[in-house]
Structure formats: C-alpha cells, structure tokens
Amino acid sequence: SGSVQVHDHNVIRLCANTGAYSTSHVITAQVGASQSKTWHVNTAGATPTISGLPTTLKVQSAVSSQALPFTINDADTAIANLVVSATTQNNNWGSAPTLTLTGVNPYKTLTITPPAGATNGTTADIVVSVSDGATSAKHTITATVDNQAPTISGLPDSVSVTPNVATALNFTIGDNSTPAASLVVDSTISDGAWTRAITGTAPSKTITITAPASAVNGATATITVSVNDGTLTTTKTVVA
C-alpha cells in the first residue's frame, strides 16, 4: 500500500509504505486535463533470513549427523508462510545424502546422513533455502566425510577385584562426527561366571565388574568394552 503523487510536467511519484509485500501494482493517474497514464509498478519486500547454521561440517558415511538447529525470519511475511527446503550441490559422495528437516517455523533442525561408502575426505554442499513466495535466502554448508573411529578413555589396562564385590570403572566415549548419544556401547567377558554391566548416559559411562564368590585367588577374566558409531568400532581390554 502507499500513495501516488502527480506533479507538474507529467511527473509521478509512488510512495510505498515501509515493509510492503513484494507485489505488482497498476497505477492510473490523471496527467492532464483530458488524458491519463498507467504505470505497472513492482514493490520489493524484505528478503527472508536464515541464522544459526555452520558453513562447514564433518560427517560420517551412513551415520546421521548431529542435529543442526537454525532460525528463519522475514520482516514482512508471516512466519508460518515461509517455505524451507534443503538440497545437495557439488555432490562427491556417489549418491545423494538423506536430508531431514524438522521443527516448526521459525525454529527448524537439519540432519544430514551421507550415503554408505562415501569416501573419506569427499565433500558435498548442502544448501538450505527459505522462501516467502517472492524472494528467497540460501545458506550453504560444505560437509566433509571424516570417518574416524570412536574413542574410549578412562579405562585401566588391569584392575584388582574382590570376589562377590562389585567394582565400578568409569569411562568416557566420543566421536568426531557422531553424537555421543548415538554411539553403541557393548562388552564381552572371557569367563561366564563373572558378571559385568554398563550404565550411565553418554558420553559418561560406567562398567561394573563382579567376580563370583567362588573365584580363587589369582583368577582372572578379560573384559572387552566396545563402542561403535555405525561404521567403525573401537575396543578397550581390561584384565581383572
């Protein structure tokens, strides 16, 4: 919306209100005593915005990335009317990744899952777009496959235990491109008479080892703790 001002010498001035939506107007104004003139005028609205996304990201083949939260906005379009999409460009992964958008405007989340077999060091550009129907904004994330094995830290090589008394060992798990909560932790033990249990919330975990009451002095068992990120596995051995 706005106003039209007609001045001498057939000059017309369109005064658009601040924040006008992008649209097209047809304006007819009296120019002389017996003639009029028509103008087709386009007024441009504000461009949408995207904030909160990184420009680079390390990912792992066949493993979903950490959730990437971001916010969209537009100065003159209702937030609910903004349309968000994600596409892939310059893809060197062999096949397309899975791109998952969730959330309710203006708060959205993107998750990237590269295809299985994507080679270490290869990249793809993930382009997030938001449109208000007339203008759009884009944000590009260059995602690089960086397949590294997860880590286990804090466990000793050996530990002394007392028969029928639980011994708790704390440890930490991690991965360069997989959220700790998505890592799978497991364990095995060489002697079935011994028991072990893993508890805790990633990345902080605890394994509790209990030797049977019948265990003689000097008896040993080998406990192997493993952590898997969906592609690679790391193990740590503790002799009790």
Q: Are 153 and 172 in contact (CB under 8 A)?
A: yes
| Residue 16 scores a pLDDT above 50 | no
The reported pTM is 0.58
> For residues 132 and 22, what is the distance between their CA atoms, to the nearest angstrom?
9
Query: Using one digit for the tens of pLDDT, what is the confidence trace for 192-227?
Result: 999 999 999 999 999 999 999 998 888 999 999 999
Where is pLDDT greater, at 232 or 185? Answer: 185
**Residue 179 pLDDT:** 84
Over residues 144-184, the pLDDT tens digits come to 998 888 999 999 999 999 999 999 999 999 988 788 998 99
pLDDT of res. 19: 43
Across 105-117, average pLDDT: 95
Alpha carbon distances (Å) from 18 to 2, 8, 43, 52, 159: 9, 26, 10, 27, 73
pLDDT digits (tens, 9 = 90+) for 73-85: 999 899 999 999 9
User: Hey, what amino acid is at 146?
Assistant: D
Residue-wise pLDDT for 37-87, tens only, equals: 555 555 557 899 999 999 999 998 888 898 999 999 999 899 999 999 999
> Does residue 116 surpass a pLDDT of 80?
yes
How does DSSP assign the chain, residue by residue? -EEEEEETTTEEEEEEPTTPPSEEEEEEEE-SSS-EEEEEEEE--PPPEEES--SEEEEBTTBPPPPEEEEEE-SSS-GGG-EEEEEEES--SSSPPEEEEEEETTEEEEEEEPPTTPPTT-EEEEEEEEE-SS-EEEEEEEEEE-----EEES--SB----TT--EEEEEEEE-SSS-GGG-EEEEEES-TTSEEEEES-TTEEEEEEE--TTPPTT---EEEEEEE-SS-EEEEEEE-
Q: How far apart are CA 134 and CA 58, in angstroms?
A: 33
Backbone angles phi, psi at 62, to 5 degrees: 65, 15
pLDDT of residue 61: 87
| Sheet strand arrangement including 204-210 | 151-153, 167-174, 204-210, 195-199
Residue 226's pLDDT is what? 97
Q: What was the pLDDT predicted at 63?
A: 85
Instruction: Pull the structure tokens for residue 39.
Output: 């103008």
